[in-house]
Structure formats: structure tokens, C-alpha cells
Amino acid sequence: MGENDNVSFIPAHGGYQQLRSFQMSEIVYDATVKFCERFIHKYSRTVDQMVQAARSGRQNIAEGSMASGISKETEIKLVGVARASQEELLLDYQDFLRQKGLALWGKDDVRAMDVRRIGGTPDRSYKSYMTYFDADPETAANAIICLIHQTNYLLDRQLRQLEQDFVKQGGLRERMYKARVEERKKMG
């Protein structure tokens, strides 16, 4: 019996860099750092809160992906935390606009649709949005809000897929038990 005959109960995991949710959350994080540097007083507690919420969104996707081989429950929890962090950040940007008396773009606003269109391109990056991020505070905040909505949409889809996968495949203990039963069958 060779090494490849063993049943593996730890599935492949990681690969978060290829997840669109991670890619978008990274753009949101980078944009938030720049936004805070440009438009929020550096000693304001809001800077730390916004940057940490953006960072949490990104980091929890990566951590969940790395934990997924051992615990689907942990992966689901961490992707949920990433989603909650993005929602917190969304509220911060909406508060910024409201408190400054700036307009919040509607989803059918042509500028919002332009930002969303970039998000649908396969080679999008932080640089793809530079004209928005380098603009006035209203434009920059609204562009980032559009990106957060797109990231939230992707995270919601990811959570639904993780839920379906868990129902079909179970958790680590179930996979371990199945592997042990299969090994016993081979032995006799």
C-alpha cells in the first residue's frame, strides 16, 4: 500500500489571493488608508477605526481560507467577521458624507455604475480606481462605498457557498471518522 492510498481528511486550503472577495477587500483597505491620510485628521480616532475595519475585512478572509482545511466552522465564522467589518466600514463612510454635508450616490448614479463596471473587469486593481481615489472627498468616499458594496456582495455569495459545502461535506470530525472507517474497510 503506497502513500497515495491513504484517505485524506484535510482538504486543500488557502489560495485566498485568488478569491475575488479578498482582492476587492485589499483594494478597499488600500483606498481606506489613502482616504484617511487625505481627508481625516491624523489624530482622530476615526482613522484607526476605519483602517482597522478595512484591515479586518481583508485579514479575516485570508485567515479563514487558511483555517478551512481543519475547520469549516472557523472559515465560516471568519468570513462572517470579514463581512461585519466591511459593514462597519460602510457606515463610517456614510457617516463621513452625512456629517460633511456631501452627497451619497444612489446605486443608479452614473458615477456609481462606472465604479461598479471597473469591479467587473478581471484585471482590476487599486490603480484601476485612481481617478476616483485621487478626487475630492465626496467622489473618493462614494467610490469606496461602491467597492464595499461589491465586496459585501462577494462575501455574501462566499458565505452561502461555504454553508452549502459544509452541509454536503461536513466538518473535520465527520471527515476524520469517514477516513478511519474507509481505512478499516481496506484492512479487512
- pTM comes to 0.85
What is the number of domains present in the chain? 1
Residues spanned by the domain of 30:
15-163
Listed as ranges, residues in the chain with pLDDT below 70 are: 1-14, 69, 170-172, 174-176, 180
| 73 in a structural domain | yes
Helix (H, G, I), strand (E, B) or coil at 115: helix
pLDDT for 172 equals 63
CA diameter of the chain: 75
User: What is the grid cell recorded at 168?
Assistant: 454536503
User: Could you give the CA distance from residue 166 to residue 102 in angstroms, rounded to a whole number?
Assistant: 43
**pLDDT confidence of residue 120:** 87
Q: Is 132 part of any domain? A: yes
Q: How far apart are CA 70 and CA 67, in angstroms?
A: 6
The verdict on residue 175 lying in a domain is no
Burial category of 167 from C-beta neighbours within 10 Å (exposed 0-12, middle 13-18, buried 19 and up): exposed
